[in-house]
Amino acid sequence: MKPLKFLDKIAIWMLRLSFAGYLILANIGYFRSIAISDFQFYVALAVVVLALLFIVGGFTSNQGLTVISSIGIFLVLLYKALTPWPPTLTDHFLVQIVLDSVALVFASRGN
């Protein structure tokens, strides 16, 4: 059976919106109490800003914004996954690795 190529655009946008939505919802809790002295506040701020730029990059004809925001998301999520050194194989670590994989897919594929 042949793959359903006509669903490619819908699947990419569903993945893009769910990826960015998860990143925003997972990090929005850091903004309830704005602790400017806390480093995790700035990490969460970077993730939310990069996720919004990632969504905006999908609407542009140039792929640069999508690629740059994907690389930024990858680096921040890699930092979050490897912060508890040495990393242990937990569900949180595996979720971070899956999210890193999605970011790398968009960094290599573009729009």
Per-residue pLDDT band for 29 (boundaries 50, 70, 90) equals confident
Label residue 96 left, alpha or beta by phi (over 0 means left) and psi (-120 to 50 means alpha): alpha
pLDDT at residue 90, rounded to an integer: 82
Closest CA to 53 of 82, 24, 30, 83: 24
Model-level pTM greater than 0.95? Answer: no
* Amino acid in the structure at residue 47: V
Closest CA to 74 of 10, 21, 23, 11: 23
Which residues touch 98 (CB under 8 Å, ≥6 apart)? none
Computed over every residue of the chain, the mean pLDDT equals 89
85 Cα distance to chain centroid: 21
The Cα angle at residue 7 between residues 109 and 52, in degrees rounded to 5? 50
pLDDT at residue 110, rounded to an integer: 82
Is residue 20's pLDDT more than 90? yes
pLDDT at residue 49, rounded to an integer: 95
pLDDT digits (tens, 9 = 90+) for 32-79: 777 778 788 888 899 999 999 999 998 988 899 999 999 999 999 999
Which residues touch 104 (CB under 8 Å, ≥6 apart)? 70, 74
pLDDT at residue 23, rounded to an integer: 92
